[in-house]
Amino acid sequence: MGAALFLAPGIAHAVTRYAVVSIANETQTNLLLSYRWGDSEIWHQINLRPGARRWWSHKFSKPNENRAPHFYIRFDADTSSARYMEPWKLTGRAATEERFELGNKYALRYDGPSKRYVEIFDVPG
């Protein structure tokens, strides 16, 4: 009689290849963001329009490494003519793909009823 091979179902885990940071501008203000990953000397800039959503990713050096440098941003948090630069250190979420939905989510929102200042908030989920 022949031998039979039975394979027990295994638990599949998605392979993570990126750290992703996702930011939504929930204000009515255009915000000029400077950003960089880790200790890089180079800051990049983008203009984040009201209602815009943007993600950034850092590719791991090997699959499932799940370690990435912090993501730094800075922006003028004062919507008046005065300037108040806010620096922030954010953390990416390990993800299988580079998509907004898979990132560690943050929202730029007004801080208080006067809508003069903008802050960044963690968004659950």
Q: Is the pLDDT of residue 24 over 50?
A: yes
Q: Give Cα separations from 100 to 70, 96, 104 (angstroms).
A: 17, 12, 9
Q: Is the pLDDT of residue 6 over 90?
A: no
Closest Cα partner for 86 from 49, 111, 54, 55? 111
Distance CA 67, CA 1 (A): 52
Please state which of the four CATH numbers 3.40.50, 2.60.120, 1.10.1130, 2.60.40 is assigned to the domain occupying 18-122.
Answer: 2.60.40
Distance CA 112, CA 49 (A): 20
Q: Is the pLDDT of residue 125 over 60?
A: yes
When pLDDT is cut at 50, 70 and 90, the band that residue 3 belongs to is low
Label each residue of 24-80 as H, E or C: EECCCCCEEEEEEECCCCCCEEEEECCCCEEEEEEECCCCCCCCCCCEEEEEECECC
Q: Give Cα separations from 125 to 45, 93, 102 (angstroms).
A: 27, 11, 9
Distance CA 2, CA 10 (A): 25
Please state whether the predicted TM-score (pTM) of the whole model is above 0.95: no
Per-residue model confidence as pLDDT tens digits over 44-102: 999 999 999 999 999 999 999 999 999 999 999 988 888 888 889 999 999 999 999 99
Domain ranges of the chain: 18-122
Q: In the predicted model, what is the mean pLDDT of residues 3-8? A: 50
